[in-house]
Amino acid sequence: MGICGKANLPKEKIMVSNLWSHIHLVCGCHNLQDGYVLMEPHAAAASNTAASLYGNASMNMFYSCPKYYPDNRKKGEPECRNHVSMQEFEGVLGYITDHLMPAILSGTDMDLTGLKWTSKQGVNYEVIKYEKGDYYVKCVNNKALWKK
């Protein structure tokens, strides 16, 4: 059995335990044939400018492509600005939970591969792989990909 255990609660009372650890955001800006580039959680910058724009850094975690950081890129490779806020990630959890509800209620697993949606903030998502209870979700935040 994967993440969906047998539930005896009404729909509005169900929460999937540790679902966040079973959702892996994949940066959709890279060729998936070369392997997945998993987005990772980071804290917002702690500079005075960042603090004035975004508030307390500990409250503004976000997921970003590791290729934003120079240490994770080859020489001459451009930075990848794809990222989503923690609030946006919580929206992903909610959306997937809603689609898993039939499986949760019946105590079975559900493969959501191929499920596509766009969030209210305009971020495009697609479940590209399901494996052993884990969902790999391709993410493209077009608003974040502006050119310098």
- Which residues neighbour 30 within 8 Å (Cβ) at sequence distance 6 or greater? 37, 65, 67, 80
- Boundaries of every domain in the chain: 11-145
pLDDT string in tens for the chain (148-residue length): 455 544 444 545 455 667 888 999 999 998 877 788 889 887 765 555 545 544 554 457 789 999 988 898 999 988 999 999 999 999 999 999 999 988 878 888 899 999 999 999 999 999 999 998 899 999 999 988 876 5
Asked whether 4 and 100 are in contact (CB, 8 A), the reply is yes
Classify residue 47 by its DSSP letter: S
What does the pLDDT read at residue 50? 47
What does the pLDDT read at residue 46? 53
